[in-house]
Amino acid sequence: MVSTITFQPTGSSELSRRLKELEEFQRAILNILEDFEEERRNSQRIQKAAVNLLEDMYEEQRKLTDTQRALMNMLEDIELERTEARQAKSLLETVNKELEAFTYSVSHDLRAPLRAISGFAEAVTEDYAPLIDDEGKRYLSLIRDNAHQMGRLIDDLLTFSRLGRQQMTRNQIDMAALAKTVFDELAQVMPERRLVFRIGFTPPARGDIVLVRQVLVNLLSNAIKFTAPRARASIEFGYLPDLGGGAYYVKDNGVGFDMRYVDKLFGVFQRLHSVTEFEGTGVGLALVHRIITRHGGRVWAESATDQGAIFYFTLPKGESK
């Protein structure tokens, strides 16, 4: 007996639906595969970024290590310099003490024979005057004058040597009032001179009034001294706000000097005029230079032979009223 299988044909609509489902399934699979691929690329980028970050961290660590090593070297250098500075300070203190002792010794040991020389010269002049002719009296007078000059030189050298160790007290200074006081004191000892003193615009300064007073004493006394050949001495003290950020000046109509030798002006024992022309120890302007330098300023001069001179100096500014 033969069995018969009957095929029921599937409708076209059912086939289309299944084909559509299959296409959607395939599309979903492709989307998933694309997502996997994108995730894989993202993972690779993350890995690369992580590797770069690790490399940067390693580089930063290397730089940090180098920086630490450099800082350690700098600290070692600073400590070495600090040790050397302490040693230099100790040595400087020792040298200063020795210099102070030497200065005292020079002062004491030189003054005694100078006083003796001057005293004996004066005694000979008084006790043996009838027995000494005019030339001999002139010689004795020269001995006394030179002994006094040597005494002034010792005083100036002591002042110069102590200046670097002298403590400074900075205060407001009325420069116009100080200059007038100094000039009046200097002019009193020479009433025979015709001295005209003018004070221009002078703002206050800030500094050690004792030291600044010494500056004015030296500059104004120089102006008075080097105007001696003039029948009428004209001296001026003032301030130029547009010069070097602001500079005080002392101007005179004296004999002046040759600017070719201006570099020697502020050195110790440097004189541009002979002692026979104008007395002095050759230390005064060196004192001025040291004092102004200690205040953080500068000093300079302008002149021409027989045309007077101008000395400029700067100081820290005071508070204007």
pLDDT of res. 79? 86
Paired sense of beta strands 247-252 and 233-240, if any: antiparallel
pTM of the entire predicted model: 0.57
| CA-wise closest residue to 113 among 161, 151, 159, 141 | 151
Give the number of C-alpha atoms closer than 13 A to the C-alpha of residue 172, restricted to the C-beta side: 7
Percentage of the chain lying above the pLDDT 70 cut: 80
Give the number of C-alpha atoms closer than 13 A to the C-alpha of residue 139, restricted to the C-beta side: 8
Window from 11-20, 154-163, 191-200 with minimum mean pLDDT: 154-163
DSSP string, 258-295: -GGGGGGTTSTT--SS-TTTS---S-HHHHHHHHHHHT
Q: How far apart are alpha carbons 182 and 218 in whole angstroms? A: 10
Tell whether the model's pLDDT for residue 299 goes beyond 70: yes
More confident residue, 197 or 161: 197
Please tell me the class of the 171-313 domain: alpha beta
Q: How far apart are alpha carbons 33 and 22 in whole angstroms? A: 16
Q: How far apart are alpha carbons 111 and 116 in whole angstroms? A: 8
pLDDT-based confidence at 24, cuts 50/70/90?
A: confident
